[in-house]
Each structure stands twice: as C-alpha cells, then as structure tokens.
Structure 1
Amino acid sequence: MAKNHIRPEFTRELLHPRYWLVWFGIGILYLLVLLPYPWFNRLGRWLGRLAMRVMTRRKKITRRNIELCFPDMTEEQHEQWMIKNFEGTGQAIFETGMAWFWPDWRIKKWCKIQGVENLMLGIEEKRGVLVIGIHFLTLELGARIIGTVRPGVGVYRPHDNKLMDWLQTWGRLRSNKYMIDRGDVKGMIRCLKQGELVWYAPDHDYGPRNSVFAPFFAVEKAATTIGTTILVRAANPLLIPFIPMRNDDDSGYTLVVQPPLEGFPIDNEVNAAIFMNQVIEQQILLAPNQYMWLHRRFKTRPDGEPSLYDV
C-alpha cells in the first residue's frame, strides 16, 4: 500500500493558540468564497496588485523569469505580463478556497471541461493515467475540476505548518481518493500499475538530483526532472496534459484536457526532458499570464555557470 492519507487526522493540537491566526485567515477565506464569484474575483485582482508592491523579491523573480523566457518582448510587455500575473496570484487565493470549500454543483456551474473523454481513457484496460499538471495559478482548482468527473491520486509536498498540512490534505481529498508524498515514487508507480489517475507536475526546478539540463523557452539549460521518464519506464501510463484556464470575461474557468501524448522518447533522459519541456511550453502559451512565474525556475545551474538571478 502506498503511503497515503485516507483522511487527515484532526487533533486537539491544531486548536493551540499558535494556529489561531491561520484559523482566522481560513475562516475569512471560507466566508468570502460564499459571495458571488465575480465579486471576490475582482477582489483577488486588487489583492494581487497590492501583493506586487509588498512582495518585492517575488516581483523581481517574476519579471526576470519572463525576461529570460521571452527576450524578444519589449520591456513594456514584460511589465504588463508581470502585472497580470500578480493579479492572477491574488485570484489564486480565492481559487484555492473554491477548490477546498465549494460544493460540486457550484464547481460545475463555473467550470467547464473540454476533452473530458480523454480522462476516461485507460479505465477498461486498467492502464494508469499520468496527468501532466503544470504549475498554473489555478492548479488547486484544476485538480478539483478533474475530481468531479474522475477522482485520482494526488501528489503533494507536506506543509511545514501542521494546521496547513491538515487543511490542504483535507481540501485536496475533495477531488482525490488519497494523497501520496511527492517523494514516494514507488507509491506512484504502484498506483499507475493499478490503473489509477495520478497528477504529476514536471515543470519546476527540483534541484540537481535526478535532473538533466534541457531548453525551456529561450533558456538553453533549465534543470528538468527525469521523474517522468522513471514513471513511464516503470508503469507505462498514458501521458495526458491538462490546463485549467481562467476565462478573461469573469465567466469562470475552462479546463482543457489534451489527448494522450505520443512519441515519448523513453530510452533517452535528455531527449525525454526536451520533449516534456516542449509540451509544457505549448500548454503555457495557451494562457501565459496564468503560469506560476514567481518561483525561481532556473535556480539550478550547470557547474561553473553563474546564477541567472540577483535575488
């Protein structure tokens, strides 16, 4: 049995005063997402602009990532993308509340799926499905949308704060059968061999271990995990990308589920990383302002090469 949380355990320790501020914040979020969607969606954009003034380090990282990936854009275009990205970051706070607290009927009212038939592939033959989730600002909501039609197995990093770990696990079990620690590779392989749908995100910089360098947009050497290759070799799952996009007209969300990928170069880890980065680029370009640019995607560099960041 894979290491998992069938149901998060609530203990009296989580009521300790040191967690009261978190409880207060979660309570406010719960109340706000009870409001009409357009109301708190606009509030999210305002909070994002406020965060851009306060989170100066993240602002520099976001701008730098956009500059590195899209060097042919003008400085004004870089600035516009960064502003839109921070607005989306503010909206993502409420989208997390939507994913954790909204009932299914409200999710279905505001969230539509294109390509739902692709999620059902592999069920009859009990072939696992590795859904290629990309770190969009809407990722929490995207997993919940998928869970309304086909619950799967969530892959997560335990939170350092015990209350937040309980909350995020409880919230994500609204759309998943159970959760697996992202370091439990054997557990993921076992789930895929059992025909489960497993969410996996290969687009961040997870450090030099189990990574190779491959192009990512205009950055020629981006540390890219070989985890996808490991899972495909061991379990032979279908590889299905999906992207949850926030509609520009405040009409909700469209989750696009792509057909299974073909031609994955399983025998060469570098070629596989290049292949996956190209797939990820295609998904990002569908809604580039909604990608999570605020992380240091290029923090790991080849030996002897300088950092691409000054923060």
Structure 2
Amino acid sequence: MSASTHRKTRDTRYHQFRHPRWWPTWFYLALMFCLAHLPLRVQWWLGKGIGEIAYRTMAKRRHITSTNIRACFPEKSPAEQRALVRQSYHANGIGIMEIGLAWFRKPERFRPITEVHGLEHYENALKAGNGILLLGGHYSTLDLGGSLISLVIDADVMQRDHNNPLVNAVMTRARERRYGTVLASKDLRGLFRCLKANRPVWYATDQDYGRKAAVFAPFFGIPAASITTTSRIAERTGCAVVPFSHFRRDGAPGYDIYFHPPLANFPSGNDEVDAGRVNAAIEQEIRRHPDQYLWMHRRFKTRPSPDDPDFYRKPDHGHNTEHH
C-alpha cells in the first residue's frame, strides 16, 4: 500500500480563511515566512532572544522548568541547575524560529549541515516487514527534525492539531510535503494501516496524559505516568520500536539525527517494565543535550497516589530566586 492510498483526508484549503478575522494570523505566518529566510546564525540569535524574554516573563513556566530540572538532575549544583533552566529557554526559543524553517524551507537546504547516525538500525528493522514505531521525544528541534529526517527516510507522523485552524492548515500542509501520511493523534486505525503497510510512523509518548491507560515507571528516577499504548501497538502489530532523536549542534550551525537498535523482546508482557524501557530510551537521548528538551511541560503532574502532594506546588515560604 502506498502512502497516498492511506492518507487521511483533511480540508486544508486556504480559501476558507479569507475573512478579515484571519488577517492577524496571516500576518503572523507571513512574518514567520520572512524570518525563515534569514541566515541560520541570525535565526539562532533571534531565537535565543525570544527564549530570554520568555525566561524573564513566564514565571509559572519557569517554575515548572526549574522544578523538573532540580528533580531530574540532582547531581548538578543549584547554579548549574539555574543555568540549565535558562539554556533550555534559549534552546526552545531557537526551536520556535526553526518551525518556520520546517514549514517554509526545503529540507535539501540543510543537507550539507545534517549528519545521520545509525541509519542501518532503521533499515534493518524495516526488513522485518511489520512497520516501525519511531520512538521520538519532545525536543526543541521537533518540527525541523521531522523535516530533516525526510532527507533519508519516508515516514508517516501522528500530530496533535493546532488550536488555530489556519495555523493548523499551514502546519498540516507543510508536514504532508515531508511525510507520507499525517495522522491525527488519536487515529489508531490509521496508525495500524500504516504499520500493516510496513511504514515507519513517528510516535512520541513522553508527556503526562493522566492516569487513564498509564502505569508509573521511572523517568530520571522519578515515577512518571507513562502510557501503555506503545506496548499494545507493538503487541498487536509486531512492529519494531526504534528510538531516534534529533538535535542542533553546539557552536557552528548544524544538526544530528540518531537512530538506535529496536527495543529487544518488546513488549515483554509487563507494562511497567516496558514503560520503563521506553522512558529510559528517551532519557538516554535527552542527556545528549539536556537543554534541548521541553522541560516546560508538567511531566510529573500525575502522581502515583491521588493523595500525593502536587509535584509543582510552590513552597509556602521563602523568596523565589529562580530568575536570579
């Protein structure tokens, strides 16, 4: 089955967005388009500026980020933890700029500065004929990473639609140019069709989706609500689960994509063990460039017991010095 035969139909035509109420969004998208054509070093500089502004003004998110980093990197000194918080905002600011690159620039433009590692693991897994779950994570290079992997593989993707319909249309059209199929995040039937056709599907599980269909498995040594869907999909389809990641390089502009061997003997029949292995694979990649992960997300929002205190509750006393 070819990609075109199982593509999910979406209405992404622009004529429905002619009304003046959409003009502010069109202006925003036009600005993204223009910025995407600036030199990469300039975009990185602007992205760091966006991140610095967010770091200084988004106190609630800064608290979440600080809490996550203190818990996940207890071996770092308080000064190192604060530095990592700030660096993560800079990295995610650059990631915002890279969305324009992913949507409005051809990935071929970045081939000279992109290096792929471990592609043989992906190629060997594809030979089994049962499809591949590409086990990704919410790194700051999320959108651009998807564009860059299209340089070397033909993959499908599951996406959470954007709340703004016009932005969602632009995003979906851009991704449809890079991927074979763009599936809605809950379209499991579409996912099974893709895997049955021996397609690779980009799939990320590293967020807190609540207690339903979840077990608690360690993530950086902390019990985290982890969905069991990965095990259920692998059990039903026999697909390979291949961890992969994508990061921008430190210093000179450039990008690295990493593919790893499929998780062996997966699923094992033990949901907690399987979820722990998935979390460990993602954690291993995060440690390559810890600043390039989405630490602003409340990964530990759901606690093992409903009676456990809020992981992100601020202390009742003392002065908040995260910003200093």
Residue of structure 2 in register with 1:9 after alignment: 12
The amino acid across from 1:279 in the alignment is A
Structure 1 residue 162 corresponds to structure 2 residue 165: yes
Q: Provide Cα deviations, 1:55-107, integer angstroms capped at 9, x if missing partner.
A: 22111111111112122322111110011000011100111111111113202
- CA distance in structure 1 between the partners assigned to 2:97 and 2:313 by the alignment: 31
- CA distance in structure 2 between the partners assigned to 1:125 and 1:238 by the alignment: 8
Q: CA deviation at 1:287?
A: 1.0
Aligned with 2:147 (options 144, 147, 163): 144
Q: CA deviation at 1:7?
A: 6.0
Q: Residues 1-311 of structure 1: matches in 2 within 5 Å?
A: 4-6=7-9, 8-219=11-222, 221-301=223-303, 302-310=305-313
Aligned length: 310
Q: CA deviation at 1:6?
A: 4.8
Q: Percent identity, please.
A: 34
- CA distance in structure 1 between the partners assigned to 2:219 and 2:107 by the alignment: 36
- CA distance in structure 1 between the partners assigned to 2:156 and 2:77 by the alignment: 42
The amino acid across from 2:117 in the alignment is Q
> What secondary structure sits across from 2:186 in the alignment?
coil
The amino acid across from 1:21 in the alignment is P
CA change 1:122–1:75 in 2 (3 A) is closer
Q: Which moved more, 1:32-41 or 1:9-18?
A: 9-18
The amino acid across from 2:54 in the alignment is A
- CA distance in structure 2 between the partners assigned to 1:169 and 1:285 by the alignment: 30
The amino acid across from 1:295 in the alignment is H
Q: CA deviation at 1:162?
A: 0.7
Q: CA deviation at 1:8?
A: 4.6
- CA distance in structure 2 between the partners assigned to 1:94 and 1:56 by the alignment: 22
Where structure 2 has 5 or more consecutive residues not aligned to the other structure, the ranges are: 315-324
The amino acid across from 1:233 in the alignment is E
- CA distance in structure 2 between the partners assigned to 1:264 and 1:85 by the alignment: 32
| TM-score under structure 2 length normalisation | 0.90
- CA distance in structure 1 between the partners assigned to 2:247 and 2:174 by the alignment: 20
> What secondary structure sits across from 1:98 in the alignment?
helix
Do 2:6 and 2:193's aligned partners in 1 also have CA atoms closer than 8 Å?
A: no
- CA distance in structure 2 between the partners assigned to 1:145 and 1:6 by the alignment: 24
Q: Which moved more, 1:229-238 or 1:114-123?
A: 114-123
- CA distance in structure 2 between the partners assigned to 1:16 and 1:208 by the alignment: 41
- CA distance in structure 1 between the partners assigned to 2:143 and 2:191 by the alignment: 19
- CA distance in structure 2 between the partners assigned to 1:78 and 1:3 by the alignment: 46
> What secondary structure sits across from 2:276 in the alignment?
helix
Q: CA deviation at 1:263?
A: 3.2
Q: CA deviation at 1:11?
A: 4.1
- CA distance in structure 1 between the partners assigned to 2:184 and 2:225 by the alignment: 21
- CA distance in structure 2 between the partners assigned to 1:75 and 1:147 by the alignment: 40
Do 2:108 and 2:151's aligned partners in 1 also have CA atoms closer than 8 Å?
A: no
- CA distance in structure 2 between the partners assigned to 1:38 and 1:229 by the alignment: 41
Residue of structure 1 in register with 2:317 after alignment: none
Q: Provide Cα deviations, 1:120-167, integer angstroms capped at 9, x if missing partner.
A: 234444320110111101111111111122121110112221111101
Q: CA deviation at 1:273?
A: 0.8
The amino acid across from 2:217 in the alignment is A
Do 1:6 and 1:178's aligned partners in 2 also have CA atoms closer than 8 Å?
A: no
Q: CA deviation at 1:183?
A: 1.0
- CA distance in structure 2 between the partners assigned to 1:51 and 1:292 by the alignment: 14
CA change 1:6–1:118 in 2 (3 A) is farther
Q: Which moved more, 1:103-112 or 1:83-92?
A: 103-112
- CA distance in structure 2 between the partners assigned to 1:289 and 1:9 by the alignment: 34
